[in-house]
Amino acid sequence: MAVKIKLTRLGKIRNPQYRIAVADARNRRDGRSIEVIGRYHPKEEPSLIEINSERAQYWLSVGAQPTEPVLKLLKITGDWQKFKGLPGAEGSLKVAAPKPSKLELFNAALAEADGAPTTEAAKPKKKASTSGAKKAAKAEEAGAEAATEATETTDAAPAAGGEQSEPATEG
């Protein structure tokens, strides 16, 4: 069976995203594949190229032929040079810079506005702990209400006990 390493298209009309798949050469472009060994998103800046190098080396060693676009991707990641034994096996893949966390951005903006942050930003709490805190707060409120009701009834009891009033009768 002739095996090819090719791109299968996913995504929307103007946002192509590809899987790098090993498939029978006679299957259609987006048809059934034997194994998916990576992904390629050309619209991102820089383009996202992820290839499982170990699986790519295996499929190349057993005779799978990469298509032209996949061959270019394998050269960028350095897998083709590694397979052929050529220099430059480290590849020339560009990696996107990591995004700064929103907490750090908030603290930096707070420092610019006031000169220095007076308090740190509150860290997000887990849902389980917040629901437990809510239950504890409700229990405290209920306990406080019961205590205030008890003091009110004790205050009202001597006044009512000292003066016995007759029930009002309409007549």
Residue 34 lies in a domain: yes
- Domain-located, residue 13: yes
* Domain limits for position 74: 3-84
Both tokens assigned to 140? 């405290």
The answer to the question of residue 15 being in a domain is: yes
What pTM does this model have?
A: 0.57
Name the domain count of the chain: 1
Supply the CATH number for residue 72's domain.
3.30.1320.10
Class of residue 68 by CB neighbours under 10 A (exposed 0-12, middle 13-18, buried 19+): exposed
Residue 103, domain member (yes or no): no
The tokens of 96 are what?
């996107």
Residue 126 included in any domain: no
- The pLDDT of residue 17 is 95
**pLDDT of 100:** 83
The secondary element (H helix, E strand) that includes residue 41 is strand 35-41
Per-residue pLDDT of the chain (171 residues), as tens digits, is 799 999 999 999 999 999 999 999 998 888 888 999 999 999 988 889 999 999 999 999 999 999 999 999 999 999 999 998 888 777 777 877 888 889 988 888 888 887 655 566 666 666 655 566 666 666 666 666 666 665 565 555 555 555 566 666 665
For residue 52, CA distances in Å to 11, 26, 49 come to 21, 24, 10
Q: For Cα atoms 23, 28, 29, give the angle at the middle one, nearest 5 degrees.
A: 75
Tokens encoding 2? 């002739």
Lookup: tokens for 153:
């009834």
Instruction: State which H helix or E strand residue 7 sits in.
Output: strand 3-11
